[in-house]
């Protein structure tokens, strides 16, 4: 964290700022702490955040968690993107604790990302930890790199989806999931 703070201080100088002025005195340390939090997903795995919260279900029902607030950082510009995620899976014998779904989303969102990869990583991880018959993941996000620079399209929203197993192979399963998350 000390090295990151020093780099931020150098960046302030390169931008034409005075890191010794009152409002910026502690900015390098604050930015370093902020970046450590926003990228903590590099030091976590889905298995760690799952923490053995796998339970017998006895039936193969669809489980859906939607409106999971998501915050990530674009790997191209290091600007935030944010929105919601919906995750659905059809269990075979096991389900995971509902909060663990959101924690798995955060493992991958708290990295420098592109939304397309984030969507696939979450779907693959849910499939892996649940042994599900199928998994569906949909992200709807707004990207500050689109909104405040470049094309400056403030109302743009990107939607990505990943469908695995029965969610990809069975139109009825996919349709049920998509209707449940609307």
**Would you please indicate which residues are annotated as catalytic (active-site) residues?**
74-77, 115, 143, 145
C-alpha dihedral (110, 69, 181, 86), degrees to nearest 10: 10
What number of CA atoms fall less than 13 Å from residue 1's CA on the CB side?
A: 12
Cα–Cα distance for residue pair 135/165, rounded to 1 Å: 7
User: Whose CA is closest to 45, among 108, 91, 95, 117?
Assistant: 108
SS3 content of the chain, % helix, strand, coil (to 5): 45, 25, 25
Cα–Cα distance for residue pair 1/115, rounded to 1 Å: 27
């Amino acid at each position: 964290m000390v090295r990151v703070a020093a780099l931020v201080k150098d960046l302030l100088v390169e931008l034409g700022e005075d890191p010794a002025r009152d409002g910026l005195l502690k900015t390098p340390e604050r930015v370093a702490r902020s970046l450590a939090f926003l990228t903590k997903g590099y030091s976590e795995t889905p298995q760690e955040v799952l923490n053995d919260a796998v339970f017998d279900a006895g039936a193969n029902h669809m489980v859906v968690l939607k409106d999971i607030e998501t915050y990530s950082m674009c790997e191209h510009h290091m600007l935030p993107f944010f929105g919601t995620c919906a995750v659905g899976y059809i269990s075979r014998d096991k389900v995971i604790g509902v909060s663990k779904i959101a924690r798995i989303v955060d493992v991958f969102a708290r990295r420098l990302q592109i939304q397309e990869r984030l969507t696939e990583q979450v779907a693959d991880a849910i499939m892996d930890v649940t042994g599900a018959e199928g998994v569906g993941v949909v992200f709807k996000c707004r990207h500050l790199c689109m909104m405040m620079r470049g094309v400056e399209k403030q109302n743009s929203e990107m939607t990505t989806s990943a469908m695995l197993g029965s969610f990809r192979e069975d139109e009825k399963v996919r349709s049920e999931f998509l209707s449940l998350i609307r």
